[in-house]
Chains A and B, each alone.
Chain A
Amino acid sequence: MFKILQKSIGAGIVTTAYPGAPAQISNHFRGRPSFDFEKWKDARTGAEVCPTGAISLGGNGDVRTVTVDYGLCVFCGLCAEASPDQAVRITQDFELATAERMNLVLTVEYTLNADGTHRQLRAVNRGFRNAGEDVENVGRKAREKIHKLLGRSLSIREVDAGSCNGCEVEIVALNNPIYDIERFGIHFVASPRHADMLLVTGPVTRNMELALLKTYRAMPEPKVVVAVGACGISGGIFGENYASLGGVDKVLPVDVYIPGCPPRPQALLHGILLAVGRLPERPYHEHAG
């Protein structure tokens, strides 16, 4: 007994101050890639290397549409490596959770030079900044209701609907002494009947669809659904195929999306607190222009 006490006192308090204070994150961490669309000479190199199709190209003639979808991004950093002019940079942003799927999508239009490089920026849709207020409000209402009803306590039922288990590794980490999610009155519970929030990972597989639906139906109202990770948002690298239905919103109404591959514990914390109206969304700090 004495040994146990000694060990624990020796270790001291290790819990992080986040979100009360900014997260201390190494500058090696690969967070959101940020795009200087004015400067980006050629999106083709990015689209070519991007493993999940988070950067995709469209358009015709001398117009190119470039779509960047943070809901598909696995934060590999290849697009930045392929852009030596620094038009694409990897930032340490991780608070990407949002109530609106479209907030994660940026679209840009370019006119082109004869060799296919970009000549001029025509139009930009910056996801977050253009998000319609109305849509925002609907989501917020459900969340505020939960907040009102439950005050500061929240019970979460986690369901792996087909993930690689990477997201679970980080969700489990929320319970360690560093992130200690219970200090927010948040508990992971064993039964959906006790849960207010369904935290879902993975592309939803055909084999898990029914179990996911049943779990959702077993939860009392009001309830929120949070989709975790690139796979939970969009199917990620697995996408849609004979065995995978894609993102969680193919099967259930999703209230909050948390990007990442996997999202780090602070990102999960941000998303979970956002879903119950205890933290705001954080707009991206884009390059000027």
Chain B
Amino acid sequence: MTEAMFPLVEALQRKFGCQVQSMHAGREDEIYLVARDPDVRAIAEYLTDECDARLVTVFAEDRRSAEGVFFNYYVFERRGDTQYLMVRVPAPEGGLEFTSLSAKLPAVNWQEREIQDWFGLKAIGHPNPRKVALHDNWPDVHPLCKDFPIDTVLPPFEGERHLYRPALGEGVFQVPVGPVHAGIIEPGHFSFAVAGEPILYLQLRMFYTHKGTEKLFEKLPIHRAVFLAESISGDSSFSHGAAFCQAIERAARIEVPLTALVMRTILLELERICNHVGDIGAIANDVGFVVANAHASRLKETLFELNERLTGNRLLRGMVCPGGVRRIWNDGQLDLLRGTIDAFAVEFRDLIALVHSSESTQDRLERTGILRPEKAKDLGIVGVAGRASGIDLDVRRDHPYAAYRTYSFRVPVYQAGDVWHRMQVRIDEVNESLGIIRTAADHSLRGEFRAPVPAIPPDRCALSAVEGWRGEIIHWIRTGPDNHLERCKIKDPSLNNWPAVVEAVQGNIIADFPVINKSFNLSYSGTDR
């Protein structure tokens, strides 16, 4: 490891020399720094304030049996460096706690509370340390601790239900919505405080679909766990599946054949287009432009049919595997891909012309649900929602994976942060994705498409990142014995972005909530796992 390659690490060592216990690179783009001091604040503040790094995610690991303590991991990245820097911090000897960063970095508010719930580690100094991932009425259990068996049958819940901040003041009402919503969507509870029509504030209660996913990753053998990864968030099946397989490949230290990397790139972009075109229609629909939605959903359907012909499944499931992809495409499939994409491009242009021609649609969407760039930065917003609010992040460009290094594409960024611009980001991205797919489909997709995956020794760690259609997906694994994992951390972009919804609805009328929520279109299952 040459220091010149890791300017961040160099800076850290200069400043915090004695606190840095050791350092090693898992791969050249993944550096681990082991800190001695359980108080991580100084390092984190230095990285974020002075080095302009971003805290990507925080998670914990129960290492009591192997190393005597719990560890927290803080993942940082910085624009311009392809590396991820992982700061590994021990919990204090015998102590079940860690130092909270949420007061300074609101972006990790939920993630720190998740650690409290799942590991029983207290976040010291957290501004709102209430339960988040396990609901308030759960018994006192910490399911991700190694001594908690996954199949534990918990007694019926009798504890206190969640108490919302009361809505006080003359003419202020509380409007509870959910967890079962009016439409065909995932469950979550929203509590609005309204004064007349405008929303004063929104409180969220998520994790209704928590189904023990991270714990289950520790139980399933790796080849089965791929399918679990595909079920983290249904509309992002391929992105999560690919992120997981990438992590396995990194841990196994194998190279994936180029043909497979190109095919993955095509499928990742297809997933993006499917969801974006669906969302564009749904946003138009929510302000009454039903015809646009009919065309958009028809277009989405043509892509689902293509998905099926390329992978055997409309959601692209059962295609990605550790080492590459399970099947290669024949000429007929490749022709179909090119033909469908060309036809789609023409129709998509018409659709957007239609949407843009409707002044009433634009009028309803502009300046609705604004998320300001400063707020977006504080809250650590990623993906489509971030890019509409000035956050210039895209894993495909910043930490290239699959075959993205090969393709040039533009990352659209706007400052306005309203519903209209979240839609515009999607429109631009569809056009970029079409370009990527066209170029990629001209590769000669022949030869090897699946590298053999050897048995992976225990205790290999690997981080993998994918720009799903919503934004940054992170998987981190530690391998265990016998084709199993010790730990698998999943971070869906939705986890970052829920606070953005809370922020964006403030001051808007409650009738606009559906379209604002739709413009973020976050995954409840990805959040809750």
Contacts and interface: CB of A to CB of B under 8 A. Distances in A.
Asked if chains A and B come from one complex, the reply is yes
Contacts of B233: 164-165
Interface string A209-239: 0010001000000000000000100001110
Interface stretch (A123-131, A168-176, A248-256): A168-176
Interface stretch (B90-98, B106-114, B209-217, B499-507): B209-217
A211 B300 contact: no
A206 B235 contact: no
Q: How large is the interface on A (under 10, 10 to 19, 20 to 34, 35 or more residues)?
A: 35 or more
A177 interface: yes
A166 B315 contact: yes
B77 to A, nearest CB: 27
A238 B186 contact: no
CB-based closest 9 A-B pairs: A166-B234, A190-B182, A176-B297, A165-B234, A243-B212, A51-B227, A30-B312, A164-B234, A51-B224
A30 B151 CA distance: 31
Interface stretch (A7-15, A34-42, A62-70, A107-115): A7-15
Interface string B124-146: 00000000000100100101000
B152 interface: yes
Contact of A207 (B207, B226, B294, B310): B207
B120 interface: no
Interface stretch (A144-152, A154-162, A276-284): A154-162
A162 B186 CA distance: 8
21 contacts: A28-B312, A29-B312, A30-B312, A51-B223, A77-B312, A159-B187, A160-B524, A162-B208, A162-B210, A164-B231, A164-B525, A165-B233, A165-B523, A173-B297, A173-B301, A176-B301, A207-B207, A238-B211, A242-B152, A243-B210, A244-B212
A159 B228 CA distance: 22
Q: Which interface class (under 10, 10 to 19, 20 to 34, 35 or more) fits B?
A: 35 or more
A8 B308 CA distance: 26
Residue of A4, A8, A158, A166 most packed against chain B (CB within 10 A): A166
A43 interface: no
B231 A236 contact: yes
Contacts of A242: 141, 143, 148, 150-154, 212, 215
Given A178-B301, A205-B208, 10 more contacts: A8-B294, A28-B333, A49-B223, A90-B312, A165-B233, A169-B315, A175-B297, A190-B183, A208-B179, A238-B216
Nearest to A4: B291
B235 A26 contact: no
B88 interface: no
